[in-house]
Amino acid sequence: MDNYIFKLYWGLKMIINDAINEMIENVHKLSQELDEKTINEMMDNIIASKNIFVLGLGRSGLVAKAFAMRLMHLGFSVYVVGETITPAIHDDDSLVAISGSGETSYIISTAKITKKRGAKIIAVTSYEKSTLASMSDLVVSVKGRTKIDMEKDYITRQMGGKHQSLAPLGTLFEISTLIFLDGFVAELMNKMEKTEEDMKLKHNVLE
């Protein structure tokens, strides 16, 4: 019995290690493939916007909220789409839409409204040829295994004699996007000559 528990423990540990390494590898690849021109354009767009709206669904929505919080700490007027205090969007605003597939129906419909209102759209997606990307003024590519990859990814792995990905569903995209956007905030801080002390002045004190 003790031997069984020992093997079970080390098997679990190996799965955890393999899953974490898979995520780290994806983030490392993302870091190597970042396009400086795109990053600078995204910074210029956000700085020039009167209001910034962020949008994502599910776990991507949590990433969007984390990004919105950091933008608020930097002094931007920022809103999470779907919250009750979200105002109307105008042509001097921007929407940052996060969707791994770039095909999420609610995000597409919101992007259409944004485009009609004349506001800029920044897409953060794994698919540069997606519907969302085709509608956007700027596309930030964050590669990662998304939900629509699962079937073909599974077949490819099986034919190659490899195990199925240990990062479920859209985890690779979501984790990579969270880290990318936190890194982007660091770059934005440098461009705006903001410090951590400046950000602390905007931090919630009501908790």
41 labelled catalytic: no
Q: Confirm if 111 and 104 have CB atoms less than 8 A apart.
A: no
DSSP 6-39: HHHHHHHHHHHHHHHHHHHHHHHHHHHH--HHHH
- Tokens representing residue 182 in the block: 């936190």
Catalytic residue among 22, 41, 174, 207: 174
- Which among 84, 125, 88 has a CA at the least distance from the CA of 104? 125
Q: How many CB atoms lie within 10 A of CB 171?
A: 20
Strand partners, 121: 95
Q: Which residues are catalytic?
A: 174
